[in-house]
Amino acid sequence: MERWQVVTGTVFAYLLATLAIGLLAGRRSSQSVAGYVAADRQFGLLAMYFITGATVFSAFAFLGGPGWAYSRGVAVMYILAYGVLGIAPWYFTGPKAGRIGRRFGFVTQAQLVVGRFPSRALSILLATISAAAFVPYIMLQMSGAGIVFSAVTEGHVPFWLGAALAYAVVLIYVLIGGVSAVGWTNVFQGIFMLAVAWILGLYIPGKLYGGVGPMFERIAETRPELLLLPGLDADGTPWSWGAYSSAILSSALGLILWPHLFMKSFTARDEETLRRTVVLFPTFQLFLVPIIIIGFAGVLYPSPPPSPDFIVPHIILSAGLPALIVGIFCAGALSASMSTGDALLHAAASIAIEDGVAPFVALDDRRRRFLMRLLVVLIGGMAYYLAIIQQKTLVWLLLTAYGLIDQLAPPVYAALYWRRATTPGVLAGLAAGIVTNIFFLVRADLRPFEIHEGILGVVVNTGVLIVVSLLTRPQDPAHAASFVDEAEAPRTPEPVGAVR
Amino acid sequence: MRPRTSRGLLVAFFAAYAIFTMYPGALPFNRIRPMILGLPFPIAWISGWVAASGIALWWAWRLDSRSRGEE
């Protein structure tokens, strides 16, 4: 058997295992919308832990992370630094959002915000932001799958077919199993990624340079600039501290506001489960260390890859490693891509229906489930099409996505923590934040201290939210208290899209 | 309900985390040597903060679950 056939066989075994787990898990959840979207709020600790980890670590961490280490040195440490900082507020916010969600029957983040600040315009705006941010993120995951397949099978499985194969499997289990399938496959994928990262991270430097220490000693002699913070910019010049620090801040702020992660607070069995997930999160974060080490192994490697994102496949292919190792790496990278992609697809469709359609059109449970599945296919198809035809604007789109997601922070935190916030304040702030964000995205040269446009947007967003809220009529104190203090609501507001 | 101590602990810890992993707190620790476990100092420094955050969160969680037990 030829080398690439062993590799492809390993990958297919992995895909079949994922599919089997997804289909089996889907049979466990109930037939309601709450069952499809929020898994009957029944995930335990082990599942939540791997689901969160596997969802956070996407194809970007597995391919982009080493790519950064290779081309930009310790600048890559920003990825390691922001994760923990981003998840920490969740220790308090997650359980609180979960309690409020259970009480009012919320299944999406926007329902929580609109429940506190009733406004159709806000609902549409939030649904639009989520959709705008999701599509490029899904495209990135699909491209990751395509890159891995085409690189590792030496072109026998082309980019378009690789992406299609991986996401056909994702579509099948998301359509049939909903969030239960996403959850249980992520448990499997999370464990798999973790094992692959540590094994390869220690094996590759050992095989090529005689260990991690000797490898870094040689880099310190030949390329010391790679080992000093804040690392290098994409063009090889030193990166600025402003850009490095605000990259950490904007990613940390946005992390739990990604709707697919925020919605996890509604799927957890109880708040203790959520808290423990946060407590265990740093252990998952540390698994990036071996991945980064693999990227540094590329610095001393005699031949350069076609692009930095290809550094890991490049080393693995040209270093004469056993075919089985190559196949396992390939499956690990696919895990990273698919475990984020499935959650994104599922959340994008859920949000489009719950926040974009359900508030305006009467839908029964059955039609809602049907529409949700239809949208999973449509969104998946659109992202796939875009991923195939245009890869060049991907980075630009992804940066837009992060800045947009950051703008959700002021509304969400105001809904949960600030009694005096008003609907006009939140709307005005959100609009101002988005405009600021887009302005500095387009005119990057005008950014003060090279600060990320998402952070600049959040500053304006928060300022406008506070000023306009203080200038407009306060909310009914009992209504505000039912969110901020979690007091008993005076009368149960009709929650948008309540299903229980 | 929730004790103030765990919140105070976490806020203080993550404020320090933000300062020492970014500008300007990371500046004094920005040098290649000493290497720790074979890792250049900046990599070990930030990884160390991540590991420490695991301990801080675990500690806060212990405080919380103990105080919940007493209620």
Which tens digits make up the pLDDT trace of A67-98? Answer: 888 888 888 888 888 888 988 888 888 888 98
Of the candidates A107, A116, A166, A178, the one whose C-alpha atom is nearest the C-alpha of residue A141 is A166
DSSP A489: P
Residue with more model confidence, A40 or A59: A59
User: Which of A224, A248, A276 is opposite residue B32, by nearest beta carbon?
Assistant: A224
Question: Residue B40 in 3-state DSSP?
Answer: coil
Paired tokens of A184: 């249980």
Residue A496 has pLDDT above 50, yes or no: no
Q: Over range A35-46, report the average pLDDT.
A: 59
- Contact predicate A240/A230, CB 8 Å: yes
What ipTM, to 2 d.p.? 0.86
Strand partners for A43: A268
What percent of chain A is modeled with pLDDT above 90?
10
- Mean pLDDT is highest, among A8-12, A39-43, B4-8, for A8-12
Q: Do B31 and A228 touch (CB under 8 A)?
A: yes
Say which range, A11-25, A355-369, A433-447, has the weakest mean pLDDT.
Answer: A355-369
Is A499 inside a domain boundary? no
User: Which of A80, A88, A219 is opposite residue B10, by nearest beta carbon?
Assistant: A88
Domain extent for B66: 4-70
Best probe of the A interface among B23, B35, B37, B49, by most A CBs < 10 A, is B23
Residue pairs spanning A and B at CB distance below 8 A? 105
Question: Residue B43 in 3-state DSSP?
Answer: helix
Residue A295 has pLDDT above 70, yes or no: yes
User: Which of A91, A211, A224 is opposite residue B10, by nearest beta carbon?
Assistant: A91
Query: At a CB cut-off of 8 Å and minimum separation 6, what does A104 contact?
Result: A111, A112, A115, A492, A493, A495, A498
What percent of chain A is modeled with pLDDT above 70?
90
B positions 16-45 inside 8 Å of A (CB): 17-18, 21-24, 26, 30-33, 35, 37-40, 42-43
Q: Do B57 and A213 touch (CB under 8 A)?
A: no
Q: Which residue has the tokens 């090529």?
A: A208
Q: Do A241 and B22 touch (CB under 8 A)?
A: yes
Q: Over range A116-122, report the average pLDDT.
A: 90
Q: Which residue has the tokens 């600049």?
A: A456
Confidence of residue A498 (pLDDT cuts 50, 70, 90): very low
Provide the phi-psi class of A41: left if phi over 0, else alpha when psi is between -120 and 50, else beta: left
Is A484 inside a domain boundary? no
Q: Hey, what amino acid is at B43?
A: I
- Contact predicate A454/A406, CB 8 Å: yes
Of the candidates B58, B62, B14, the one whose C-alpha atom is nearest the C-alpha of residue A277 is B58
Best probe of the B interface among A204, A222, A270, A279, by most B CBs < 10 A, is A279
A190 to A40, A112, A187, A226, A385: CA distances (angstroms): 22, 29, 5, 30, 27
pLDDT computed for residue A461 by the predictor: 94
Query: How close A283 gets to chain B, by Cα (Å)?
Result: 7
Domain extent for A185: 3-391
- Domain of residue A286, CATH code: 1.20.1730.10
Rg over CA atoms, chain B = 16
Q: Do B40 and A281 touch (CB under 8 A)?
A: no
- Contact predicate A91/A272, CB 8 Å: no
Number of domains making up chain B = 1
Number of domains making up chain A = 1
pLDDT computed for residue A494 by the predictor: 46
The rounded distance, in Å, linking the Cα atoms of A216 and A204 is 13
| Alpha helices by DSSP H, A224-310 | 241-255, 259-262, 264-267, 271-285, 288-297
| A91 contact B CB<8A | yes
Say which range, A28-37, A307-316, A448-457, A459-468, has the weakest mean pLDDT.
Answer: A28-37
Please report how the helices A212-222 and A288-297 are oriented relative to each other, as an axis angle in degrees rounded to 10.
Answer: 50
Mean pLDDT over all residues of chain A?
Answer: 81
Q: Do B61 and A275 touch (CB under 8 A)?
A: yes
The rounded distance, in Å, linking the Cα atoms of A480 and A474 is 9
Q: Which residues of A touch B33 (CB under 8 A)?
A: 220
Paired tokens of A432: 């101002």
pLDDT computed for residue B62 by the predictor: 86
